[in-house]
A and B are shown apart, each in its own frame.
Chain A
Amino acid sequence: MSDSPLIVLDHVSKVYGTGEVAVHALNDICLDVPRGEFVVFVGPSGSGKTTLLNVIGGLDQPTSGTTIVAGTDLGSLNENGLTRYRRDKVGFVFQFFNLVPTLTALENVELVADLVPDPLDARKTLETVGLGEHMHRFPSALSGGEQQRVALARALVKRPALVLADEPTGSLDYETGIRVLSVMRDVTREMGHSVLLVTHNSEITRMADRVIHLRSGRVAEVEVNPSPARAEELRW
């Protein structure tokens, strides 16, 4: 694996609107993220966490600045290029799961596995996240935590270089949230994925290798955690 950072953000800004109603969601962000780390972005509402995640995930283009992920300059990509980038390099986990309700857990994972030439085995991936017994159930028959683990399996099955998780525990109760974080941490570490997780829950920062504090669209602080906690140790 190369020693170069997985993500390089160079003076990245994102402005919504113009003139007096312009909102600076990201304001001149410069940031390097090494490979293989579990990184948590934390900050209050409106601090730019999700916008930053969307820029890194190729869902949004910055107004200015350069975004390089796994050696790819996202600014140089057109819509098709961004689609390929997302398909090949990024796995997403969202707060509201966004599972297809008419597909079973296994089929939801296979839906994404169909996209890439060399995916992981969908069944094994579900077993990895602890859903081996429920893989033929539809989302409506799964609990919130189970649904989020399906979403995680769906993100991982493509063997992405990077997993982006936006408030993955936001819709879950404490115990389920802990379970999801635990699986996410263990599986991504085992598979060697980098994880970028956005949350407003500061307790989750304890399990991160690196914590990036955002405030008003700026990086307020970057904290490196030499001894991350296990998910089961978190309390909120």
Chain B
Amino acid sequence: MSRLNLKLLRDLAHARWQFLAITFVTALGVAMYHGSMVSYETQRASYELSYERLAFGDAWIPVRRAPRAVVRQIERMPNVVAVEGRTSEIVEIEQEKPRRPRVIGRIISLPSGREPAVNRLRIIEGSPLGSRSRRELLLEQAFARANNYRPGDRIYPRFAGRRVRFRVAGIVSSAEFIYPVMGNVFSLPMPELFGAMFADEQVLGPLIGLSGQITEVCLRTRPGSEASVAAAVKRRLKPYGAEEPILRAEQASNKLLQSDLEGNKPFLVIMPALFLGSAALSVALMLARWVQAQRGIVGFLRASGFPARAILFHYLGAGAAIGVAGGIAGIGMGHLIGMWFAAAYERVIRTPFAAPQNRPDLAVTAFALAMVACLLGGWLPARSAARIVPAEAMRGMAASQPRALARIRLPLFLAIAVRNMLRRPMRTLGTASGVASAVSLMIIAGTFRDSMMQAISEAMDDFQRYDITVAFVPERSANIVTAMNAWPGVRLAEGTLDIPVRAKHNGREKDTVAMGFARGTKLRVLRDMSGASIVPEPGQALYSNVLAKRILTEPGDTVRLDYSQNIRGRSASAVMKVGPRLRLMVALPIYMEMEDLRRRFARKLQMPPDAVTGAVIAVEPGYERIVTSRLHRTDGVGLALSRADVTRQIDEVTAFANTFIAFMYLLGSAMAFAIVYTVTDIVLWERTRELATLRTLGYGMGSVLRLVTIENIMMGLLGSALAMYPAYLLARFMLEAANTEGFTMLMVTSPTTYALSVASTLVAVLAAQWPGLRRIRRLDLADAIRTRE
């Protein structure tokens, strides 16, 4: 090894804590990138693998009812790869104790004696459906898991008001229900309350009055021809009441999965960029100090004949060493983080087939990013070292003049601190930027938490002032709600009306649900973006920013709403005026005035004139279980959901987000400490002589501590101030990216988050200066003050 490289290694060993701190930050950046990428690619690959192996459909075309024979005709159409006809019905499900008495299910037919050509199932427990004479079904695994079903258990779907006993033959996973939601207008997975199940077509057909008939055609097509083939199939099925096709991109589960993946993308870039940017900054600060401290040596080396590029590579070597160490450590950590992310996600979303991605290209990219960051960080100081003119280096540095501002009269120690910061403004700015990146990360993490808590709190405590939500299957007259108002323990019950619609505007469309909202409603509140209470006027449609962006409407535009289901064989539509935007956590519903919705839709669909599809109920304290229990025994009640149920579902869905936020905060704090330690230690190294001189003059360690603390606190505060605006912008960008149709948050950063982030940083500053101060206390004063600056 050349002596110059040996010097480099020894320099690194000498500054080992700084080296380790910066390597740690680099490793975190690499780990964040590698871990997120591994997790992202694993999810993506798992979906693709599952879709491929289970022949996931490219398009679904619902029909009112069609003869099964039509499937043969569709098979012969151009670009159709595979086709399957089936029935798909929403039904009430009764369950044995101790399970929830009544939930909702989608029961889907399977062809007799063969696997479906499209949308196959993977049996993960039990067996396929057996003899047609037995009433057996297969349960989707999320529902089975949430309700603790095993093969052999009994389950009771209701058909036309009649409860039918089925045996659970097996537990399956399905590409259509990886994200287990009921349909396109639902976004919150509630596996305990909704389940998909699959039964033999010859068993199911007679029960739903559709023997030899189908209500849905599923297609696999040649790549790129999905839309045209689906449109052609729709035309072919027109005589049978064909609906608008649902392409794979709009399929409920797939859409939410893709939305999740898309929402994660900014994190793949921003988080690693924050860490690696900070690592680069730390490398720059450390090397700048080295170059400053070794100016005389560099001068000698140049005088002795070392070429400038040797000096350049020598100092770049320090950056490279950190890049290599951080890169390797980060890839290892990233692998663990990736596995942890994937496992945490898997607890919420289970894919039929897993495709773990241990891709060398991701590791190589992560490593390259570490190298690039550290070499970029090292570039400026290394270049300045290479440009040192030997003769000038031998003469020593002229003391820079304090700026005019530094002449402002201040108490002595404050003046020293201010002048030190102003003496090298770029260095000060660099140091403060390092602190700022750490503060930013903590503010971003805090903002995510604040925004989520605010959204949930608004939804649960302000928008929803009821204790129980009820869904009727099918819709009922409002008399049932009137009756509920007389039940013991019911404080107030109000009817709700939800009608699935497709919102259309200027060629853009979105499946959603129109919800009736009556003037005088006490149990629900709608708020506009400013937070003011708002009620829809007749003819007016109110909805959130998210839907407005999907269909590109502005307040004052008109939007067309079409009834989007085929179960009645009737159609209804309305053109509504778009009102002010709503503030909603679940971001897709459209609110209309209740009577308006009944007039424009319910009556045309032959619902009762005072139709309700559900109710919301406020109960007296202590009555929630009693009323819920009574609801479960009430005919027509498909689902009764208590506040505790909803809270639990939200907790389950947000658990992953909470873990991620806590992890981000932890990393932010670790990065804050590492950066602050590095920069503080560097500052103390630079000032060793000055501080030793003060001690020699008679100042005690207490005074030195005060001086250093004042300056470091000022640096911490400057860094915190610098962090505020970039943190706000980054948090806003990331929050917008993370908002999905399923869960939308308005950005909220509480004063506590700001205070906590700044306070954590200041604590890190105080802790980080400790090793340097200990070194100064142990200094050989005589030697220190002799050392040439």
A→B interface (CB under 8 Å):
50, 54, 57, 59-60, 79-80, 83-88, 90-92, 94, 96, 98-100, 102-103, 107-108, 110-112, 114-116, 154, 158, 166
Contact B3 A88, beta carbon cutoff 8 Å: no
Return B6 CB to nearest CB of chain A, in Å: 6
Give Cα A102 to B390, complex, Å.
21
> CB within 8 A of A111: which of B4, B389, B391, B788?
B4
Q: Which of B289-314 contact A (CB under 8 A)?
A: 296-297, 299-308
Give Cα A217 to B52, complex, Å.
87
> CB within 8 A of B299: which of A50, A98, A114?
A98
B11 at the interface (CB under 8 A from A): yes
B299 / chain A contacts, CB cutoff of 8 Å = 98
Return A198 CB to nearest CB of chain B, in Å: 11
Give Cα A31 to B161, complex, Å.
119
B14, B300, B389: most-surrounded residue (chain A CB, <10 A):
B300
Q: A60-B391, A111-B4 are in contact. Are A83 and B296 (CB under 8 A)?
A: no
Ranked nearest first, the 9 interchain pairs of A and B with the lowest CB-CB distance are A87-B305, A102-B10, A111-B3, A59-B391, A98-B300, A54-B391, A60-B391, A86-B305, A98-B296
A111 / chain B contacts, CB cutoff of 8 Å = 3-4, 7, 301
A90 / chain B contacts, CB cutoff of 8 Å = 303, 305
Chain A residue with Cβ nearest B306: A115
B521 at the interface (CB under 8 A from A): no
Q: Is the interface of B mostly helix, strand, loop or mixed?
A: helix
Kindly list 4 other residue pairs between chains A and B, CB separation below 8 angstroms, not including A79-B308, A116-B305. Answer: A83-B308, A86-B302, A87-B306, A114-B3
B160 at the interface (CB under 8 A from A): no
Contact B307 A80, beta carbon cutoff 8 Å: yes
B394 at the interface (CB under 8 A from A): yes
Q: Which of B1-54 contact A (CB under 8 A)?
A: 2-4, 6-7, 10-11, 13-14
A91 / chain B contacts, CB cutoff of 8 Å = 304
Q: A59-B394, A103-B10 are in contact. Are A96 and B4 (CB under 8 A)?
A: no
B→A interface (CB under 8 Å):
2-4, 6-7, 10-11, 13-14, 296-297, 299-308, 389-391, 394-395, 788
What are 11 of the A-B contact pairs (CB < 8 Å)?
A50-B395, A54-B394, A59-B389, A83-B306, A86-B305, A90-B305, A94-B296, A96-B788, A108-B3, A114-B3, A158-B304
B13 / chain A contacts, CB cutoff of 8 Å = 102
Give Cα A90 to B305, complex, Å.
9
Contact B296 A100, beta carbon cutoff 8 Å: no
Return B97 CB to nearest CB of chain A, in Å: 75
Q: A54-B391, A60-B391 are in contact. Are A103 and B3 (CB under 8 A)?
A: yes
Contact A83 B302, beta carbon cutoff 8 Å: yes
Contact A59 B3, beta carbon cutoff 8 Å: no
Contact B3 A110, beta carbon cutoff 8 Å: yes
A92 / chain B contacts, CB cutoff of 8 Å = 300, 303-304
B6 / chain A contacts, CB cutoff of 8 Å = 103, 107
Contact B303 A86, beta carbon cutoff 8 Å: yes
Contact B305 A83, beta carbon cutoff 8 Å: yes
B297 / chain A contacts, CB cutoff of 8 Å = 98-100
Contact B305 A84, beta carbon cutoff 8 Å: yes
A114 / chain B contacts, CB cutoff of 8 Å = 2-4
Contact A112 B304, beta carbon cutoff 8 Å: yes
Give Cα A201 to B62, complex, Å.
104
Give Cα A96 to B390, complex, Å.
14
> CB within 8 A of B304: which of A50, A86, A99?
A86
Q: A59-B391, A87-B305 are in contact. Are A103 and B7 (CB under 8 A)?
A: yes
